[in-house]
Amino acid sequence: MMQANTLTIEDTTETQNGTVLSVQDLRVWFELRRWGFGHAGSVRAVDGVSFDLGYGEAVAVVGESGCGKSTLMKAILGLHLPTEGDIVFEDTAISTLGSRRMQWYRSHVGYVQQDPFGALPPFFTVGRILEEPLIINGIKSSTERQERIRRALTEVKLTPVEEVTVKFPHMLSGGQQQRVVIARAMILQPKMIVADEPVSMLDASIRVEILKLMRALQLSHNLAVIYITHDLSTVRYFAERIFVMYAGQVVEKALVDDLLANPSHPYTHALLAATSDPDAANAETFREVPPGEPPSLVHPPTGCRFHPRCSHAISGLCDTQEPPEFDIETAHLSKCWLHR
């Protein structure tokens, strides 16, 4: 039986400005232990990531599997503790939160999972799935809960509401399931949404529809969004800024249009080369795909982590010294010695 408590949910419809989330030199390392021998190294899944996110701003974090973007997302959701650095939500470092304040934090941060079917409890109706977070977070009035459920389902375009609320997840299509996941993420009127590859398991025909729905909700609710994806072709539908991750680090930050038109880091060129839907105007530019595999996060390369795969590597510099972030132009940074 779920227990109601006294946490109250604020109405966040009032527009706020400034920084909602600040990630400060974040490191999330996982210790490896060899049986009988103790410490055997660390997996440096996130290794020195910093950025600020404004209210109402959407950023995309892109990179191939194993680059650290999922670990970064879980740290932001409070599921992994920082090894070093901090994640500050409004004025609060989330690593300092106890379980009750962590519930407060999670009421302000919605989560849209990659696999909608796996994310929805199979034996709950849609109505029950959406009501649960409201009960847990102290919305005692049944009338208010039903009104919020009605509003959330209408916003994600799942109507008639009376028919949808009595259905179980298996009675819905993949796109409808993802709309329920989005409605659940929105139901507590969060200030921020973390979306983990939200369209990668959907049919191609409905991906753009779901991204456009999320974009509309982001704009109408002044939501900050962190959109995690490996697919650069979807980013243009959604985000204002983009961060490219490689081997646990952010190697390029830029406005989306700027990065797609003028990629600067050799790894970003490689990602664009592998994109299924490159901008036709730029298609000729991004032919060069580097050889090799992403490096070990236990023993990452010295210097620039991309240097073993980079055809532009400068011997004696790229292989020995880690590049800082260089300013290329306004709001465009690249962690590459070519821009020193």
**Separation of first and last alpha carbons in the chain:** 60
Dihedral angle sign, alpha carbons of residues 210, 172, 137, 228: negative
Q: What angle do CA 301, 306, 307 make, to 5 degrees?
A: 75
| Least distance in angstroms from the C-beta of 102 to ligand SF4 | 38
Q: What angle do CA 324, 325, 328 make, to 5 degrees?
A: 135
Q: What's the Cα-to-Cα distance from 218 to each of 116, 202, 224, 233, 311, rounded to whole Å?
A: 19, 20, 7, 19, 40
Q: Between 239 and 336, name the residue whose CB sits nearer to ligand SF4.
A: 336
Residue 235 backbone phi and psi in degrees, to 5: -65, -35
State the residues that interact with ligand SF4 by CB under 6 A. Answer: 265-266, 304, 306-307, 310, 312-314, 318, 323, 336-338
| Least distance in angstroms from the C-beta of 323 to ligand SF4 | 5
Looking only at the bridges linking them, the beta strands covering 241-246 and 84-89 are unpaired
| Least distance in angstroms from the C-beta of 259 to ligand SF4 | 15
| Least distance in angstroms from the C-beta of 292 to ligand SF4 | 12
Q: Between 119 and 304, name the residue whose CB sits nearer to ligand SF4.
A: 304
How many residues does the structure list for the chain? Answer: 340
Q: Between 62 and 193, name the residue whose CB sits nearer to ligand SF4.
A: 62
| Least distance in angstroms from the C-beta of 269 to ligand SF4 | 10
Q: Between 161 and 274, name the residue whose CB sits nearer to ligand SF4.
A: 274
Residue 108 backbone phi and psi in degrees, to 5: -100, -5
Amino acid at the residue 55: Y
Q: Between 55 and 337, name the residue whose CB sits nearer to ligand SF4.
A: 337
Q: Between 220 and 321, name the residue whose CB sits nearer to ligand SF4.
A: 321
Q: Between 74 and 312, name the residue whose CB sits nearer to ligand SF4.
A: 312
| Least distance in angstroms from the C-beta of 320 to ligand SF4 | 11
- What number of helices (H) and strands (E) belong to the chain? 10, 12
Q: Between 227 and 267, name the residue whose CB sits nearer to ligand SF4.
A: 267
Q: Between 210 and 247, name the residue whose CB sits nearer to ligand SF4.
A: 247
| Least distance in angstroms from the C-beta of 180 to ligand SF4 | 42
| Least distance in angstroms from the C-beta of 55 to ligand SF4 | 33
DSSP state of 279: -
Q: What's the Cα-to-Cα distance from 154 to each of 124, 163, 186, 325, rounded to whole Å?
A: 20, 12, 12, 44
Among residues 243, 283, 284, which one has the least CA distance to residue 267?
243
Dihedral angle sign, alpha carbons of residues 329, 334, 336, 340: positive
Among residues 73, 82, 117, 48, which one has the least CA distance to residue 227?
73
The order of strands in the sheet holding 84-89 is 38-54, 19-34, 84-89, 92-93
Three-state secondary-structure class, residue 196: strand
| Least distance in angstroms from the C-beta of 336 to ligand SF4 | 3
